[in-house]
């Protein structure tokens, strides 16, 4: 696997696999060697969510595309009674994020190497997720690549199904065109309602409760980019 040296982030060119056939994707991902890390990669047969959550946790949140684990670590530290699963397609990034959790002794967080869209579709039971975090997912700006985006027409139903009643999808992007697509797709979903009050509340909340911190958020704010953050609730 593409490993990162301990205490160093992966190289910027680390491979990020995108949606393809289920087996072809899962066969291309090589197994994480260090069993002591809170990181799982079972390639073709990732375990369902219910098998990953320790029995003492009643609340589960998932982050799609955890990258270097900045938000996942902050969330696991800020909310020790919540179990956090980070799904990351790049093994090097997943390992690095898992090392950060391990160094912080955060036992309520876990990394899974897999395609997040496929995992939500076939490994997450109905109503089992309290909050789904999707921050700065790749906008795939070229038209021929847009089918690789996380937010595609079928995902509205998938998100609604996996969220528990009262659960939230929280997302952020700096890409105006992608933001428009997200709002359009989720706005057309009968099972999701945008919650502006929750957006304002999380804007004032401490780090690790929603939206921040992420590496991209910090970088883009320093560059003066406009960041759009949305909260959609399952009634």
The answer to whether 73 and 45 have CB atoms below 8 angstroms apart is no
C-alpha count within 13 angstroms, C-beta hemisphere, residue 52: 30
d(C-alpha 46, C-alpha 187), whole Å: 31
Q: Active site residue: 122, 138, 174, 217, which one?
A: 138
Q: Would residue 138 show up in a list of annotated catalytic residues for this protein?
A: yes
Q: With DSSP H G I counted as helix, E B as strand and the rest as coil, what are the percentages for the chain, rounded to 5?
A: 35, 20, 45
Encode 156-215 in three state secondary structure.
Answer: HHHHHHHEEEEEEEEEEECCHHHHHHHHHHHHCCCCCEECHHHHHHHHHCCCCCECECCH
Report, as residue numbers or ranges, the catalytic residues. Answer: 138
């Amino acid at each position: 696997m593409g490993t990162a040296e301990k205490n160093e982030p992966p190289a910027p060119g680390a491979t990020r696999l995108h949606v393809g056939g289920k087996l072809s994707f899962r066969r291309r991902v090589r197994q994480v060697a260090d069993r002591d890390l809170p990181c799982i990669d079972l390639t073709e047969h990732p375990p369902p969510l219910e098998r990953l959550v320790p029995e003492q946790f009643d609340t589960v949140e998932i982050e799609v595309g955890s990258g270097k684990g900045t938000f996942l670590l902050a969330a696991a530290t800020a909310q020790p009674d919540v179990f956090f699963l980070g799904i990351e397609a790049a093994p090097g990034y997943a390992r690095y994020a898992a090392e950060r959790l391990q160094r912080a002794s955060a036992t309520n967080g876990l990394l899974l190497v897999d395609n997040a869209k496929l995992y939500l579709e076939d490994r997450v039971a109905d109503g089992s997720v309290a909050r789904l975090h999707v921050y700065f997912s790749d906008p795939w700006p070229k038209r021929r690549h847009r089918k690789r985006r996380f937010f595609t027409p079928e995902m509205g139903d998938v998100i609604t199904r996996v969220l528990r009643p009262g659960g939230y999808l929280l997302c952020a992007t700096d890409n105006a065109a992608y933001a428009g697509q997200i709002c359009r797709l989720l706005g057309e979903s009968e099972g999701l309602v945008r919650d502006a009050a929750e957006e304002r509340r999380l804007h004032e909340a401490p780090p690790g409760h929603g939206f921040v911190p992420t590496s991209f958020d910090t970088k883009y704010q320093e560059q003066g980019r406009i960041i759009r953050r949305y909260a959609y609730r399952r009634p």
